[in-house]
Amino acid sequence: MEIGIIDYGAGNLRSVHKAVETLEFPARIVKAPHELENLDALILPGVGAFGDCVHHLHEQQLWGPLQDWVKADRPYLGICLGYQVLFESSEETPGVAGLGAFEGEVVRFPRSDLKVPHMGWNEIDFVNANDPLWADLPPHPHVYFVHSFNPQPAGPSIIASTCDYGVKFAASIRSGYVVAAQFHPEKSQKLGLQILGN
């Protein structure tokens, strides 16, 4: 299996690439459409703003191929922004359309006594503990988050795990071979590597 890691100029590229190499999967950086050829799976990591991510993917002519990849249910892992762009829109950048692979909007955490961004370790709860995505993991593992916004899927069927931070939100989703997480498996130590490997 060869994995492509999309570089749109603002992703958390080095950590993700290193984690994949640690798991001994062959991986290469993808910056252009022709570099998607002969890949078996894609990872879209992300750190930054929703609008900037969309802009750079369009600029690199990766937007259309990425839509086609996800629509065809080919193996895809979205991390943080790579999760958020799967949805229709984001409050972070009104008027900028996401990939629209799933119905729903990316929203900011509501005002509360909790600090935003949600940063650090937090517990996730599996929707289906028997999903192979969670194989060999303990119940309620702690994973690493850094985000101010989170997707709200229009329907619950794709939600794979949830997390509480003042409100309950979808920490990850799964639809066929398309998987995405708001947390950073590449920063979540041994348990994160297990999730990435799964």
Helices and strands counted in the chain (H then E): 5, 12
Q: Which residues are catalytic?
A: 80, 184, 186
* Angle, in degrees to the nearest 10, between helices 13-22 and 189-197: 70
Q: Alpha helix locations (H) across the chain? A: 13-22, 50-59, 63-71, 81-84, 189-197
Provide the residue type at 194 as one letter.
Answer: Q
Number of other residues whose CB lies within 10 A of the CB of residue 132: 9
